[in-house]
Amino acid sequence: MKDLMIRGADIVVRTLIEENAEIIFGYPGGAIMPVYDALYDYHDQIKHVLTRHEQGAIHAAQGYARVSGKVGVCLATSGPGATNLITGLADALIDSTPLVCITGQVAAHLLGTDAFQETDVVGMSMPCTKWNIQVRNVEDIAPAIAKAFFIARSGRPGPVLIDITKNAQTDFGEFNYVPCLGFRSYQTKIEVNKSDIQKAAELIDAAERPYVLFGQGVVLGKAEAEFKAFLDKTGIPAASTLLGSGALPQDHPSYVGKLGMHGNYAPNMLTNQCDVLIAIGMRFDDRVTGDVKRYAKQAKIIHLELDPAEINKTVKCHHSVLGNCKDSLELLTEAVTAKSHPEWMERFREFEREENAAVVQHDITPTKVGLTMGEVIHQVNQYKADDAVLVTDVGQHQMIAWRYFNYKKSRTQVTSGGLGTMGFALPAALGAQMFDFSRQVVCVVGDGGIQMTIQELGTIMQTKAPVKIILLNNNYLGMVRQWQQMFFDKRYSFTELDNPEFVKIAEAYGIKSQKVSDRSDLNEAIEDMLIHDGPYFLEVVVEKEDNVFPMIATGCSVEEVRLS
């Protein structure tokens, strides 16, 4: 598509429009100002959300991308604006979130002179991006952005950064947009080897105690229907990783719970008792495996994975099937024999009942005077919509919300998984809500994490995004405090927080707010929050020293999971 000579800044915006970018999250500054000037003329074609910090912008883009399945876009200026994106880039890379981040840069003739707000953002972001590039000439802008979108969304998704010098933005050039459909040396689609499928099917058919572990790859591969069909035919017990939550409805008969350090008792205990372990779209994170030297040594391991780098990276597998699991699962379902495993499944249910008696009842129907985090999330389930999105920060509340939120739909789980970024939730919830104002977005935060990005309440105020924020306040950095209690002789070193009046802060931003500390007020407060037409801030004061169980301590085997 060709046009008259226009500014590079206009080429940036028009290329974003051609790539069907609906919304940009960003923060203006000197080196990106020409692009912001261009946006003024295209406000009817592309929406911009002014966040209160660049880290807020990139986390919002992540939230938008995770819920929509589209590429999230953010803008920042050079120097500190660009460096403030680094945490979000690292977070997006490890969690496979597709982003295109555009930063301004000083003019090309000033590069390397330590000019005002000059930083080598390309060098800094190289380890935490899927691809990055610096554009110094106007004619390179459209091809770079088109290539960036292709790389971000194709194969295993991830973040891309484009650094554009100021002269490239202000110079005039011909707008010649050509979509990127591929390029040499970058393979985006792997054809599934049918002989690999046959070998996997033979191992599965011969298994007496098969077990499926599924991760976010099922969601990213849009393979939810194929995954369900595979489980319907085989009857194999299936447990999810943190980011895999929602890929399978929790009321599916094969679903047996959540994996990992604070996952469910049965999925962890029985990992070392299965005879065939089928990993689908997951990467054997250390929070899932525990001590890898004692992980599933008795089992034949089959790994269905898109990224060859993940095969045998952490856990040695007996057989791998490369390719998008949407393709491999369809072929595998055809190849396997229909079965059921009632006795094996009952083993999971036995451990489930044990966990229910020892942990769940304490969490959701407590005898303590103070409120628990678990009962708050349990009550949210009573009022939320089936497609409600849960966005969590990082810490005890994250693990409790994950454990007790009832996932029924795909793309309803948004959290910082691999990097564990405190401050993620509030801006990510904003981004998720900006994709669809009609959906419930429930943001669960702790009193530590929210204070890292609390300024994004201002963005919620300005956009009127109807995010429902639940602050679980225990006046501690709760997860660190739990470890200090269990492994450092209750030496609570710098984890207790003197907190502000959060409700007053939210009210200052024009957000309807309420504080609850009594159990008799909880249900009505949650119902009021979820039916409110607009953003809502609910602070719930919870037990100060409540802990999250089950738990696998660092260095322990999965079967050393503790219930107390």
Q: Point out the residues that are catalytic.
A: 54, 116-117, 166, 479
Q: Which amino acid is at 115?
A: A
**Which H or E run includes 470?**
strand 468-473
Q: Which residues pair with 539 in a beta bridge?
A: 471, 515
**Four-point Cα dihedral 524, 532, 505, 364, nearest 10:** 40
In sequence order, which residues have a C-beta less than 8 Å from that of residue 186 and are 6 or more positions away?
A: 151, 155
Q: State the alpha helices, DSSP H only, in 74-172.
A: 80-83, 86-94, 121-125, 141-153, 166-170
CA distance 555 to 564: 17
CA distance 130 to 160: 6
CA distance 231 to 325: 14
Nearest 5 degrees, angle CA 308-CA 95-CA 244? 90
**Which H or E run includes 383?**
helix 373-383
Tracing tokens 């691999």 back to the chain, one arrives at 418
Residue 412's nearest CA partner among 56, 88, 63 is 63
CA distance 161 to 122: 8
Half-sphere exposure of 1 (CA within 13 A, CB side): 12
Asked if the bond preceding 249 is cis, omega within 30° of 0, the reply is no
Residue 219's nearest CA partner among 431, 417, 410 is 410
CB 82 within 8 A of CB 55: no
CB 242 within 8 A of CB 264: no
CB 484 within 8 A of CB 454: no
Residue 180's nearest CA partner among 158, 203, 138, 148 is 148
Report how far apart, in Å, the C-alpha atoms of 33 and of each of 58, 105, 187, 404 are: 18, 10, 36, 45
Residue 543's nearest CA partner among 400, 391, 392, 415 is 400
